[in-house]
Structure formats: C-alpha cells, structure tokens
A and B are shown apart, each in its own frame.
Chain A
C-alpha cells in the first residue's frame, strides 16, 4: 500500500480549458487522478469515467427503511400495544397512517443519503482539507495527473498541459 502519490498539476483559469485538457490527457493515455474546481463542470465526470454514484440506491433503501419503520410503528402503537377508542373509530386505520409514513420516508431518505455522502467522501466536521491550490475554491481549476498510473510519455505531459492553456504546471506529492 503506497502512502503517497506523485501528481503533476496543471492550473487553469477557465472551465472550458479544464474540460478539453482533461479529455485530451485521457485520450493520450494519461491517468487523471482528479480535477479540482470551484463549481461542478458538467460532463467532466463522464469524460473522467466516473461511474454514476450509487447514492441513488442508498436513497431508495433509506426511503424503504423509513416507510416500513413508520408503518410498523404506527400499527404497533395504535393496534397492538394500546388501542384507544376515539369516537368509535377503528384502531387499525391505514389511510390515516399515510401522512406520517410519507414524512418519515423523506426524513430517513434525506438523513441516510447525506450521511452516506459524507462517508463515501470521507467528510466530517473539523476535517483538515488537503487542497491542491488555495484558489481552487475561488477561481482556479486544477487537473491532477497521476504519474505512476499514466501509460504515456511523461515528457510530453508538460507540453500538453501548457498547450491547453495552463497558467502554471507544478509537481505535488499527495499524502494518502
């Protein structure tokens, strides 16, 4: 298990350049470790070959957990544990359980999915951010190329990054 990664960073000031450089790098056989940007660049995930996140599946599972919890709980309380006679109305009355079931499904989905999001991104309160460039949350875009994994001539990398309009190219060792 390696503990650090050698990256070559190309710094850009424009999302279009970042997008086309990433595309070009990948077609030339370079391994793009990650791209850092102040906002989401649409289509970049497809170019980088990022698989569609399975958080949607997690969301569905949490919705089902919320739904079954709500139904089980309401049926248990109002029918099995303690029946209360309110105006002679039936104790097991499914239609009136719908609003709470709906709300709890949404509550579970939101909290469950967002917790999973934090877990897969390894995000937590107070985490120290390992940012590539101090301005990457402001106005700069960074394309990080993984040197070890790239199956192309490293000599041409610098030229490729510069041709794409990089304002700076530098090396960086990222601790894993």
Chain B
C-alpha cells in the first residue's frame, strides 16, 4: 500500500495532517483579503486600465498609433503574442507531462501553473485581436461559408492552423484545470459558512461526493487528458513557430524553429511560474507546500531548456554559415552585430549564459536569487521574440526598403498593460479558488501523520511514505 522513498525528501514539509492542508489552503478564500492582496490587486487593476485605454486607443485611431512601417509590419504585437503563448506552456507541461512521468512534486504547483496558462493565453489572444486592427472582423479566420462576406479560409496557411491550435489549447487547458478543481471546490462547498459561498461552490462542484467510483473514472480521464495535452502543448508552439518558419524571410525560414520554440516556451513558462510561486509562497505562507525542493526542480528545468535554447541560437548561426545563402548569412550577422545588437546580446546573456548559474544547488534553492533569475529569464525570452521578428524583417532582400523600428508609447502601454490583465486575473484566482490542489497534496502526505498513538506507526514518524507510488494509476 505504501512506498518508502529513500531518495526524495518529503514533498510537503511541516508534518501536515489532512485537516491542516484543507484549513491552510482554503484560508485565503474564507477570510478577508490581506493588505498584500489588496495592494497587488489594486496595482494590477490600474495597469489593466492602461491596457484597456491603450488597446481602445489603437482600435479607435487605427494601427497608425503603433510604430510599424512598410518594412516592419509585425513587431511588438506579435512579439508579445508569442511571449505570452510561450509563458502559457509551463502550466500544461507541469500538469500533463509531469503527470505522465509521475513527478509528484508537480502536485503543489500544478494548479497555479495551469491558471497561469489560461491567463497567459487570454493575454496572447488579446494581442492577436489588436494585431488585426479591426477586432469587429475577428471572425474572419474562422472557416465560414463564402456567403458571410469573406472567402473560406486557406487551410494551407499556418495562421489558420494557429487559430485552431490556440483555441483548442485554451479550451482543453480550461477543461483540464476545471476537472482538477472539482474535488477542491467541493471541499470549499462543504466548509462554506455564508449563503453566497455555499451557493456558488455547490453550483460549480457539480454534486461531487468523493465516491470511489467517481474517483476511479476521474483518474482515468485525468490520465487521458494528460496524454492528449502533452502532444497538444508541443503542437501549439510548433504551429506558432510555423507562422515564421513557413515564410521565405531570411532568419525565419528555418527548420529548427518548432523544437527551438517549444524549448523556449517551456523555459519562459517556468520563469514565470517561478516568479509567481516565489511571491505566492511568501505572501500566502505556503512554504511548507512549495518547498525549496520544488524551486530546485524548477531551476533544473530552466537550466536544461535554457541550454537547449542557447544551442538552437548557435545552431542557427552554423546552419546559416553552412547553407551558403548570403541573405541567410547576412540576417544572422545583422542580428548579432547590426543596429539591434543590444537586443541580440540581451537575449544571449539572459537565456544562455545566465541560467548556467543553476549548476550550483546553493543558487537553485535561494528564493531571492531565483526570483531575480526568473525576471531575467522573462526579459531574455521577450527579447528572443523581438530579435527573431524585428531584426529579420527590418533588413530583408531589398536594401532600398530597409528601415528601423521603434515602438510607440501606445505599444509599450499595451505590453505593460497586458501584465495588468494577467495579474488581475491571477489575483482573482488566488482569492476565489484554492491555489494548491488539496486533493493531490493530501494523497502525498505520509499517512502516519494520522495514525493514532496506540499504533506502531508512531515509531516510524521519521520515515517518508509516499502513498500509492507503486501502483501507477
């Protein structure tokens, strides 16, 4: 029944009982929000207003409000879109891929990572809508019969694939997240003291009773959802990369793009997960649930994916040199030593060089250092997309059309504002939903914590027992 792991440290520390888990994780939902929460929520609301204003302004005035020109037609909007989609990838990676690999450390971080996925994809979608310039015709990429005033979409276009990929990704992630939430919503329902809470949590708990039959089916569908989400998450960023890779622009026309983008997405996603969780474990006092072991594991993934991304940067250079195509060669030399050299070297140092510090365990387990590193990773990954998009476009085949691009204040406001949108949703999430998966965390805390004193279990109190690890599913 129980399995003792001699290698891993206990995943949840502090000798919690099931009741402690319930009480501590539902506390933010049941009590008045803290000052820290109000501060964060108000700040993100203000930034959200900037986003609403800047996006609205772009819609009313038109995309002339942006710094685009005839040569650089994709810039901040698509950079931000790819940036946010990339961030979204860690959530599904944590909950799906780590579930398939039976990595139990995912259990206390998967809920907030999945929420992050959903909010990041919302941010990404908002950039696509504003990129279109006329959001009222946003239904055009949906295949509709010619009678609707537009022709059927062109299924050969990766932009159409992207519409399907992003919307599938969003809806499947939402379903996965909600399925995971049901048992915890039921927990909140059964503890509810106010009529409003009782009503809403019962409504969304869908009559959950915790029956063994339901749990059996629940485990089956969780496994299948994880199984289909894993290729889904890989396909989404591959398709995003094909928006570029299937074009003929030097610097974009690269077969390495799909795996390189997926690695970059995981890298940036974990960067953002670290940023959020380091704040959450401080503010909400979840240090027993999100331990240094969790931070260590995430830092290792950042090291691996950062190095993969760095290798892709170098491979691109090699392939350009080896191809003998002078346009391709110029595109890469221009990236590193042209007018946007600073963007390129920011990307290189943040994504390839900086994560190498994670070879040292001391640095992997230092929350303050990790927090700074997570911001650096996010900056680096934003610059990666900027480098790919802007430096490839601004000097293409025809030197007479070469141009420089600089963002307007409106574009910068939309970028900053999108963080407001993201954190606004995130703060609402941690207030109204349990931000750690209680049911899963309870399944990994040692059962001897519950043995009464008469039993021999008490003498094993120092041993680590991971329940159910030998059973698979």
Contact = CB atoms under 8 A, between A and B. Distances in A.
A34 to B, nearest CB: 5
Contacts of A15: 447, 467
Interface string A48-80: 101011011001000100000000011001100
B186 A129 contact: yes
Contacts of B153: 77
Interface string A123-139: 11111111110111111
A139 B17 contact: yes
Contact of A102 (B190, B203, B206, B235): B235
Nearest to A101: B164
Given A34-B213, A106-B231, A134-B190, A43 B471 contact: yes
Nearest to B166: A103
Contact of B187 (A50, A102, A123, A137): A137
B190 A135 contact: yes
B108 to A, nearest CB: 14
A117 B160 CA distance: 31
Given A86-B154, A109-B228, A111-B171, A129 B220 contact: no
Chain B binding surface, main DSSP class: helix
A55 B217 contact: yes
Nearest to B232: A106
B70 interface: no
Contact of B207 (A44, A78, A86, A122): A122
Interface stretch (B129-137, B376-384, B436-444): B436-444
Contacts of A14: 447, 450-451
B231 A40 contact: no
B212 A48 contact: yes
A127 to B, nearest CB: 3
A24 to B, nearest CB: 14
B440 A39 contact: yes
Contacts of B468: 40-43
Contacts of B204: 125
Interface string B182-224: 0100110111000000000011111111111111111111001
A129 B209 contact: yes
Contacts of A126: 202-203, 206
Given A36-B210, A40-B219, A19 B155 contact: no
Interface stretch (A1-9, A92-100, A154-162): A92-100
B285 to A, nearest CB: 20
Given A13-B450, A121-B217, A126-B202, A99 B164 contact: yes
B151 interface: yes
A91 to B, nearest CB: 9
Contact of A40 (B156, B168, B206, B443): B443
A50 B202 contact: no
B212 A100 contact: no
A137 B158 CA distance: 46
Given A100-B161, A102-B235, A132-B209, A40 B218 contact: yes
A21 interface: no
A168 interface: no
Contact of B203 (A103, A125, A131): A125
Nearest to B235: A102
| Most chain B CB within a 10 A radius of its CB, from A37, A110, A121 | A110
A99 B171 contact: no
A15 B457 CA distance: 14
A127 B207 contact: yes
Nearest to A102: B235
A139 B225 contact: no
Contact of A84 (B152, B172, B224, B450): B152
Contact of A124 (B160, B206, B211, B218): B206
A126 B219 CA distance: 23
A48 B244 CA distance: 54
B165 interface: yes
A19 B186 CA distance: 23
A36 B156 contact: no
19 contacts: A16-B2, A34-B212, A37-B212, A38-B183, A39-B439, A40-B216, A45-B215, A78-B154, A82-B152, A86-B156, A89-B156, A100-B160, A103-B232, A122-B207, A124-B207, A125-B203, A129-B208, A132-B209, A138-B191
Interface of A: 13-16, 19, 34-45, 48, 50, 52-53, 55-56, 59, 63, 73-74, 77-78, 81-82, 84, 86, 89, 93, 96-97, 99-100, 102-104, 106-107, 109-111, 113-114, 117-118, 120-132, 134-139, 165
